[in-house]
Every structure is written in structure tokens, then in C-alpha cells.
Structure 1
Amino acid sequence: MKKKVYIAGKIGEDYPSEATLRKFERAEQSLQSKGYDVFNPTRSGLGARAEALAKEKGTDFYREIMLLDLEALAGCDAICMLPDWVESPGAEVEFRFAQAVGLEVIYKNYDKDE
């Protein structure tokens, strides 16, 4: 059975920028080529669900997307940290959650991995 890996990195407020989408897609392809089943949050479709939940509950999008992302991460075996993850409060939360529940942590370094 393939290990399922969640990709974590800086998405930013300008999402869906082409650069962000390319960065996550590049990581997804690299991980798939190594035999992993990959959860790519930029292609998950969870954003629409988060928007609906925020409207329904009277909360905000960021709260709801983080909860949905953590739920998705909980179903994975590992997390892949993109080089810019330290610039993202959300990716830091995902990293800490992954550590707390004992997931494998993979650090992506494009200079050496690609």
C-alpha cells in the first residue's frame, strides 16, 4: 500500500497564483514519481467547502480551511514540507500537528530533489 503524503507550503493570499499552483504541482509530481499517493491542498477542492462552512457558521474562511486541511492531514502517513513552509503560519500549524501525531516528515529541497 502506498504511503499518503500531504504537501505543506506557503500558499499566500494571492492564491491561486500560477507560481503557487506550479510549486505544489511540481512537488506532487516528484512525490508521485517516488511512489507516493499525494494530497495536494491546492487541488483538493476544499476551498469551496470552507467558504460554504464559513458562511453557514458565521466564521471565516481561514478557520474553516485550516480545520479541513488538518482533517485531510490526519488521513495521511507523512507530510512534505516545501522550502517556503517557514513563511506560512498555516504550514507551521500543519507541521506541528504532523509531529504531534507521529507522521513522517519529508523536507523538499528543489536544488537536491529535482
Structure 2
Amino acid sequence: MPTETKFFASGVTLQVARANRVYVAGPMTGIVDFNYPAFNAMADKLRAQGYEVENPADHGVVEGAQWADYMAYDLTRLGLCGMIALLPDWEKSQGARLEVLIAEKLGMTVVDAHDLVTREAV
């Protein structure tokens, strides 16, 4: 059986394939540079520890995009992950709160991003 078949069934990403993928969530709206420096720094730390990372800052600013456009895209990326890593003040973000609610409903591991990189570094 090819490895591909083991992890993907008709385009569905199975839990085993999502296990090492982490989605970074936190506040963006109303923050200088959309908080991209914090997102990128955490994504770099997680990648250095061997995680595959979905970083919402990677898409940058898209001309004409509204909040709902970004969320619609980011939620598709969240669904590819087995874990969500939360940046400081995530609870102040409507988008991050929605992402956490969905992550919990999907049975994903929800962790403080700093605790994750600190724990793994030990």
C-alpha cells in the first residue's frame, strides 16, 4: 500500500497525517504589521523543532481581501493540522477564538505556543 493512500482518502487528510502539523493562532486586527513578526517568530521556532507549520501570516496582505476572506482561507489551513498553538492575547481576537472553537470541536490539541516551544526545547 503506498504511503499516500495511508494518509489521504479521497482528498481527506487523516488524523495520523495531521499529528505533526501546527496552526499558529493569535491576534492580528488592530496590531502594528498585523502582528506578523510574532507569528513569523513562533513559526520559525516551531519549524526548527520539526513541526510542519500553518502560519496565517504567510499569506501576507491580499489586495481587496476582507476579514471574512482571510478567515475562510485560514480555516481551511487549520483543518490540516492536529494542533493549534496560541500566541499571547489570542482571547482578544474574534478570529483566534473562532479557530480555537473549531480546533476543540475537531479534537485538536490546543496549547500555548510559548509553552510548546519551551517544553520541546527541554
Common fold: TM-score over 0.5: yes
Match of 1:7 in 2: 24
* Matched length: 101
Match of 1:83 in 2: 88
Read off the aligned partner of 1:3 and give its amino acid letter: N
Task: Determine whether 1:21 maps to 2:36.
Answer: yes
RMSD: 2.4
SS state at 2:84 partner: strand
Give the structure-2-normalised TM-score: 0.70
Match of 1:100 in 2: 105
CA distance in 2, matches of 1:63, 1:10: 15
Percent identity between matched residues is: 29
Task: Determine whether 1:65 maps to 2:80.
Answer: no
Give the structure-1-normalised TM-score: 0.75
Structure with greater Cα Rg:
2
Read off the aligned partner of 2:26 and give its amino acid letter: G
**8 Å contact from structure 2 (residues 20, 51) kept in 1:** yes
Query: What are structure 1's unaligned runs of at least 5 residues?
Result: 52-60
CA distance in 1, matches of 2:54, 2:64: 17
Measured after TM superposition, the shift of residue 68 of structure 1 is 1.2
**8 Å contact from structure 2 (residues 24, 113) kept in 1:** no
CA distance in 1, matches of 2:71, 2:87: 17
